[in-house]
């Protein structure tokens, strides 16, 4: 049995759109368009920045003409003129006439041998007044012992009393007193310069007031003297 040939189907009018070559061309066109758009965007972004950049000025060499400067040498001062020595002329001096020395002749004086009597008044000179009588002796300030003023010699000594309370407390030391030795040898005006506690100072003053000294004399007269006395208290 013989089959009849099958008739071919008619070609579609837009069949080229579905061909392989057409698709490649469309992709190439799309890539070109995308590249053009990217370049245009880059130019729009970079163009303002390039326009805002300052233009560096071109360096140029400036040539200035040289000016000729002339320096004048200082003019030396004129040399001083040498003074010519003046001619001197000798003038003869006239000779002085000789000086005559006068001769002095002695003048004779009369010789008088007659005594001359002078009538002078007699003046009587009164005798000097008698010296005033010495005033009665007044109170003399005490003299400090030292130098020409020697310390008086003690004649009577009274031992100070050691108080019992000071003995129990074992108080020891020295009492210093400033005193005046009167002309009669007694001790007066006692001043405590350094004392001790527990009645030892009073015991020292009581004992010193009972001491007696030999009077100090100055010019043959007894005078009061000021002297420092010490009283030692010890248990040994």
pLDDT mean over 6-26: 57
Q: What's the distance, CA 134 to chain centroid?
A: 63
Q: What pLDDT shows up at residue 30? A: 84
- Which of 3.40.50.720, 3.40.50.880, 3.30.565.10, 3.30.2420.10 would CATH assign to domain 143-233? 3.30.2420.10
How far is residue 185 from each of residues 131, 144, 151, measured CA to CA in Å?
34, 15, 12
On whether the CB atoms of residues 160 and 231 are closer than 8 A, the answer is yes
Buried-exposed string 9-39: b where 16+ CB fall within 10 A, e elsewhere:
eeeeeeeeeeeeeeeeeeeeeeeeeeeeeee
Q: What pLDDT shows up at residue 62? A: 56
- Full-model pTM: 0.41
> Confidence class of residue 127 from pLDDT cuts 50, 70 and 90?
confident
């Amino acid at each position: 049995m013989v089959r009849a040939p099958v008739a071919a189907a008619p070609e579609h009018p837009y069949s080229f759109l579905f061909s392989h070559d057409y698709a490649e061309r469309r992709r190439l066109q799309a890539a070109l368009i995308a590249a053009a758009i990217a370049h245009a965007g880059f130019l729009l972004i970079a163009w303002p920045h390039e326009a805002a950049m300052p233009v560096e000025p071109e360096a140029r060499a400036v040539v200035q003409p040289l000016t000729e400067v002339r320096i004048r040498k200082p003019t030396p001062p004129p040399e001083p003129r040498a003074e010519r020595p003046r001619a001197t002329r000798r003038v003869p001096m006239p000779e002085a006439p000789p000086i005559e020395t006068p001769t002095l002749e002695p003048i004779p004086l009369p010789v008088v041998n007659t005594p001359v009597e002078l009538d002078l008044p007699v003046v009587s000179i009164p005798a000097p007044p008698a010296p005033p009588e010495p005033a009665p002796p007044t109170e003399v300030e005490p003299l400090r012992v030292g130098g020409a003023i020697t310390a008086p010699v003690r004649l009577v000594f009274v031992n100070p009393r050691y108080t019992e309370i000071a003995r129990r407390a074992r108080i020891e030391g020295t009492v210093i007193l400033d005193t005046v030795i009167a002309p009669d040898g007694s001790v007066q005006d006692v001043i405590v310069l350094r004392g001790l506690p527990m009645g030892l100072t009073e015991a020292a003053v009581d004992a010193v007031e009972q001491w007696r000294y030999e009077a100090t004399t100055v010019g043959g007269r007894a005078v009061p003297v000021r002297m420092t006395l010490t009283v030692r208290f010890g248990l040994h």
